Amino acid sequence: MSQALLTPKALYVQVAEQLRQRIFQRELEPGSWIDELKIAEELGISRTPLREALKVLAAEGLVTMKVRRGAYVTEVSDKDLRDVYHLLALLESDAAAVVARQANDAELAQLQALHDELAGATGERERFFALNERFHMRILELADNRWRNQLVADLRKVMKLNRHHSLFKQGRIADSLAEHASIMAALRARDGQAAARAVQAHFAQGLQAAA
């Protein structure tokens, strides 16, 4: 009985993740209509779990539901991007200030190890992008506020809709690494205000590159 109740939920969660990755990889382009019948046939599922998956993605901001027209991949305007970066800068700078004040030496060593790994991946853009996100998310984990973490996770999904990832711009990887070094220096110095300023500067530069 419990197995049967869990199966549909597990299915739509899996479908949501597949669609999420298609969106991030640009297999489903921003602004494009999502052909429910075609995708259901491709995945070998009914339209019910697909529609449940689309509701999940709509709640995340990745999909826009239009009355009598169906689901579309969300298009991110310049204002959307500015708003997302603004909120991420506020939330993540606050988290960095908390980490600077409260993290123990072992936790700061973990962040330093991630930063060092990031420095060794400058020639691999996709790996650098993934490590960059891990670094940011680790700061959030250490700051230990699950509500902030959820907000940031959702905002970062929307940020990924930006067609031109800022890290892929010429010279942006080197600049991003230098900004991370400033964040780490402030964290090691246990200077919460400096850590917050460094994160805010990091997002300001990221937005400039993404625009």
Averages of pLDDT over each 10 residues, the chain, 211 residues: 49 92 89 93 92 92 90 91 95 98 97 96 86 95 97 90 64 90 98 98 90 70
Torsion (CA) 146, 150, 152, 153 in degrees, nearest 10? 130
Give yes or no: residues 95 and 173 share one domain.
yes
| CATH number of the domain enclosing 7 | 1.10.10.10
The answer to whether residues 51 and 82 belong to one domain is no
Q: What is the pLDDT of residue 167?
A: 58
Q: Are residues 97 and 188 in the same domain?
A: yes
Contact 78, 163 (CB under 8 A): no
Closest CA to 47 of 82, 95, 15, 18: 15
pLDDT tens-digit series, residues 137-180:
999 999 999 999 999 998 998 888 875 555 567 778 889 999 99
Asked if 146 and 170 sit in the same domain, the reply is yes
State the residue range of the domain holding 8: 2-73
pTM over the 0.85 mark = no
Task: State residue 72 phi and psi, 5-degree precision.
Answer: -130, 150
- The reply to whether 22 and 125 lie within a common domain is no
Query: 111 and 187 in contact (C-beta within 8 Å)?
Result: yes
pLDDT in tens, 123-134: 888 888 889 999
Question: Any idea what the CATH number is for the domain that residue 108 is in?
Answer: 1.20.120.530
Q: Are residues 68 and 82 in the same domain?
A: no
Q: 209 CB contacts (<8 Å, ≥6 apart)?
A: 166, 167, 169, 172, 175
Distance CA 68, CA 148 (A): 35
pLDDT at 168: 62
pLDDT at 2: 39
- Do 95 and 125 belong to one domain? yes
- Quick one: 123 and 59 in the same domain? no
Q: Does residue 103 sit in the same domain as residue 201?
A: yes
